Amino acid sequence: MKFQILDIIPHLKNPVTGEIVSTAERLNQVVEAARRAEELGFDSFAVGERHAGEFISSSPTTVLAAIAAVTSRIKLQTGVTVLSVLDPVRVAEDYATIDQLSRGRLELVIGKGNEVLQYPLFGLSLDDQWELLAEKYGLLRRLWREENVTWSGRFRPGLTEATTTTPRPFAGSPRIWHGSATTLTSAALAAQWGDPLFTANAIQPRENYKILIDHYREEYERHGHDPRHQYLGSGSGAGGVFIADTTQEAKRQFGPVYEALTVGRNVPGNNSPFRDIDHAVAEGPALVGSPEQVIDKILSYHSLYGHHLQSISLPTTLPFEQQLEILERFALEVIPAVRAAAPTTLWESADPYGGRPEFAGATSWDAAGTVTTDHANHRRKYVDAH
């Protein structure tokens, strides 16, 4: 299995202490967390996008550019690019620039977003969110794969022999995933195009996400796509990962923060059904507990979902030093066991989209689970086989 850190960059007070860092400090924490994640052997770092609420992730391209400047191996992803409210021409240009700056490390995760307030902010109707996503994705694909595009649609003026967007991506169109949180529509869109799916696995019972995944796989097969491209990512619940020596100690330390942030809140589309930390650990996707507990939970989801990429989020209201300690414990005490139990071809040489083996080999794990790093070979080969 591969591992991703996702930060949708919430900017919140610690609900127990009332402390909050400045906007500048919070953004710099994202960049530093990505740099440290690369050192620890994580495979990907994703930046979310929100245009309303208590978030400062309205410009993920800017943040990803900063991350690209301080890293050399780790994949750069989004989580999600809210394509429904964006201009596909601008998306093609901005993210191709990130792809060039990072020497081909970019992969998008697109979706319609789950923040209803952003649609009127962009002068759009929430009723059109799914049609907006489907139409804009169709154009984005063509902009990255074709030259002199002629196109017409419902939501923006058409294009006639449009000049090729620049810059072009580093080595062919980056892979695009589809984020799915609550409905079958995104799963069906991913299957229609033969793209990978990223299930949120956030606040609903696991059985609900299994329905989305099963629908994706059924539709993928119905459309006759190459099963080698059928990769699946999974999130890990709201609130963030938290590791302690024992599960009871993890719940004792993190429970008050988790419950204050998630239990009883009223945010349409983001309300947690879990009553408290015990309920969330026992029945929800929260990765809170001892290393053994977290390993078992990830593998239990893998047995149900068969996913290839596991996403986690740090508890960003905690002191940053504590976040980095959790990051390191997860890397050293959780990742090796899960990798051994759940191998994948994603981002390896057998990945038909391009395994980029020279990057995959830059950071590895020895038999004892120790991080070993070799930065001597960072040359890039990439075959766009999609």
What's the confidence (pLDDT) of residue 270?
A: 63
Q: What is the mean pLDDT of the chain?
A: 89
Residue 222's identity, in one-letter code, is R
Q: Which strand (E) or helix (H) includes residue 304?
A: helix 291-305
**CB under 8 Å to 261, separation ≥6 — which residues?**
12, 15, 238, 239, 317
Q: Is 263 a residue whose pLDDT tops 80?
A: no
Q: Is 12 a residue whose pLDDT tops 60?
A: yes
Residue 130's identity, in one-letter code, is W
* pLDDT tens digits for range 60-100: 999 999 999 999 999 999 999 999 999 999 999 999 999 99
Architecture (CATH level 2) of domain 2-246+284-373: Alpha-Beta Barrel (3.20)
pLDDT confidence bin for 271, thresholds 50/70/90 = low
Cα separation, 72 vs 44, in Å, equals 11
Cα separation, 75 vs 359, in Å, equals 9
What's the confidence (pLDDT) of residue 262?
A: 83
On the CB side of 49, how many CA atoms lie within 13 Å of its CA?
A: 24
Cα separation, 180 vs 127, in Å, equals 18
Q: Which of 26, 43, 40 is closest to 355 using CA atoms?
A: 43
* DSSP letters for 335-358: HHHHHHHS---TTSTT-TT---HH
* pLDDT tens digits for range 175-205: 999 999 888 999 999 999 999 999 999 878 8
Cα separation, 181 vs 82, in Å, equals 13
Cα separation, 8 vs 40, in Å, equals 21
Enumerate the domain spans of the chain: 2-246+284-373
> Please, what is the angle between helix 206-222 and helix 184-193, to 10°?
30
Residue 21's identity, in one-letter code, is V
pLDDT confidence bin for 162, thresholds 50/70/90 = confident
What's the confidence (pLDDT) of residue 380?
A: 29
In terms of pTM, does the model score above 0.75? yes
Beta-bridged to residue 176, according to DSSP, are 108
**CB under 8 Å to 76, separation ≥6 — which residues?**
44, 45, 46, 47, 64, 67, 68, 98, 102, 105, 106, 107
Cα separation, 304 vs 156, in Å, equals 41
Q: Between residues 362 and 75, which one has the greater pLDDT?
A: 75
Q: Which of 194, 84, 81 is closest to 134 using CA atoms?
A: 84
Task: Find the mean pLDDT for residues 140-167.
Answer: 94
Cα separation, 310 vs 1, in Å, equals 7
